[in-house]
């Protein structure tokens, strides 16, 4: 029954079990015994005339904003939730086939990460999409818990660990102890919100229209959460909204930091709120253990400094932060006989 918490060990047979980080921006797949075997953007290109999939992942992402009228490049997940069920199902099926092959005899058992606070309706949508996409049996694990496991935090011990997983659509913030989330929140502000804030800044201040891909490139190259490099400058090309003609301007890192202030403030508010609600003993633990950052947003320059300054706590960026959730699902698969306290949701 959906929502039922069950505890390890489970008897997973010889089926090649998979862990899937089904992210708004990227999907990673972990195969038992092999590690991470797939990293692809969560994008699907569809021909509207024939309702067929033309490309998935990196190939589809390259089509964003460049397709004719009969072809659309879709990101089927928005802010951590399924916005387009049918496209999500096809995407999951494509990724499973890419990993296991089309002629597989046995369907895999799959563990999928979902944002903290995902509703029962959203969970059912994920489970059904995975089943129809080729999974035999589906387990769900909350993203911050999977991220903490992937980052190597002692989630099963009676010690408080604080994780901030900055994904594309959401930022998952949680305090974890004894195999579960004690306090948590999913903030609808992540890497995509940072990209959009840069796009809006260019539109408002320079009257230049750029795409989200360009906004993301600006963020990656000269984006700083705090203390931007005064010498960092980037040429940005777009469309002049006054003339409709091509335009190119130079933008400074200080401006990019200014553009990203609102979504970063939303993340900080969520972190503060969860820490304030944390039981005193666990809050005391976090003073010593600090905050661990995971997710692609953890790669934003100086974001650890910003959070440390605001929270007066030590902040550490996990090794390979983008892969932590996928690694966490893989560790659950590989070590389930040892993870005796950990709770998953089973359909």
The tens digit of pLDDT for each residue in 63-115 reads 877 777 788 888 888 877 788 888 888 888 888 888 887 656 678 888 999 88
Model confidence pTM above 0.85: yes
Same-domain check for residues 36 and 68: yes
Same-domain check for residues 160 and 269: yes
The confidence band for 9, taking pLDDT boundaries of 50, 70 and 90, is very low
The confidence band for 12, taking pLDDT boundaries of 50, 70 and 90, is very low
pLDDT in tens, 173-221: 999 998 889 999 999 899 999 999 999 999 999 999 999 889 999 999 9
Same-domain check for residues 42 and 87: yes
Overall number of domains in the chain: 3
Same-domain check for residues 117 and 49: yes
Same-domain check for residues 28 and 14: yes
Q: Other C-beta atoms within 10 Å of 63: how many?
A: 17
Same-domain check for residues 13 and 100: yes
Contacts 24+ apart (CB under 8 A), 202-208: 202/236, 202/238, 202/251, 203/241, 205/255, 206/249, 206/251, 207/240, 207/241, 207/242, 208/236, 208/238, 208/239, 208/240, 208/241, 208/247, 208/249
Same-domain check for residues 157 and 267: yes
> Rounded CA gap, 12 and 335, in Å?
11
Same-domain check for residues 36 and 120: yes
C-alpha 295 chain-centroid distance: 6
CATH code where residue 301 lies: 3.30.420.40
pLDDT for residue 294: 98
Same-domain check for residues 256 and 331: no
Same-domain check for residues 273 and 305: yes
Same-domain check for residues 59 and 141: yes
The DSSP annotation for 271-287 comes to HHHHHHHS-HHHHHHHH
CATH code where residue 227 lies: 3.90.640.10
Strand, coil or helix: 22: strand
The confidence band for 249, taking pLDDT boundaries of 50, 70 and 90, is very high
Same-domain check for residues 170 and 118: no
Return the structure tokens found at 87: 């496209």
Return the structure tokens found at 108: 């895999």
Q: In which domain, by residue range, is 253 found?
A: 191-261
What does the CA dihedral 107, 110, 112, 117 come to, rounded to 10 degrees? 100
């Amino acid at each position: 029954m959906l929502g039922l918490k069950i505890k390890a060990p489970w008897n997973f047979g010889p089926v090649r079990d998979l862990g899937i980080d089904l992210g708004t921006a990227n999907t990673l797949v972990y195969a038992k015994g092999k590690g991470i075997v797939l990293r692809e953007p969560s994008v699907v290109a569809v021909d509207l005339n024939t309702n067929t999939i033309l490309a998935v992942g990196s190939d589809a992402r390259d089509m964003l904003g460049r397709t004719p009228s009969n072809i659309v490049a879709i990101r089927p997940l928005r802010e951590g939730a399924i916005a387009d069920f049918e496209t999500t199902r096809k995407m999951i099926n494509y990724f499973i086939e890419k990993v296991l092959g089309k002629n597989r005899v046995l369907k895999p058992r799959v563990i999928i990460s979902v944002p903290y606070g995902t509703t029962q309706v959203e969970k059912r949508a994920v489970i059904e999409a995975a089943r129809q996409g080729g999974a035999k049996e589906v387990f769900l694990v909350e993203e911050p818990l999977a991220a903490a496991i992937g980052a190597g935090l002692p989630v099963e011990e009676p010690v408080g660990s604080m994780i901030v997983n900055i994904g594309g659509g959401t930022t998952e913030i949680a305090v974890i102890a004894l195999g579960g989330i004690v306090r948590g929140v999913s903030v609808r502000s992540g890497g995509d919100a940072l990209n959009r804030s840069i796009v809006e800044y260019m539109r408002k201040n320079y009257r230049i229209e750029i795409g989200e891909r360009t906004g993301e490139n600006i963020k990656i190259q000269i984006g700083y959460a705090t203390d931007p490099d005064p010498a960092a400058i980037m040429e940005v090309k777009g469309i002049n909204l006054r003339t409709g003609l091509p335009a190119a301007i130079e933008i400074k890192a200080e401006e990019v930091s200014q553009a990203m202030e609102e979504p970063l403030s939303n993340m900080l508010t969520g972190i503060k709120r969860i820490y304030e609600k944390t039981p005193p003993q666990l809050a005391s633990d976090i003073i010593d253990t600090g905050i661990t950052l995971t997710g692609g947003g953890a790669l934003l320059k100086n974001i650890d400094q910003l959070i440390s300054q605001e929270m007066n706590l030590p902040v550490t960026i996990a090794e390979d932060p983008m892969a932590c959730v996928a690694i966490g699902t893989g560790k659950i698969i590989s070590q389930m006989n040892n993870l005796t306290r950990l709770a998953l949701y089973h359909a």
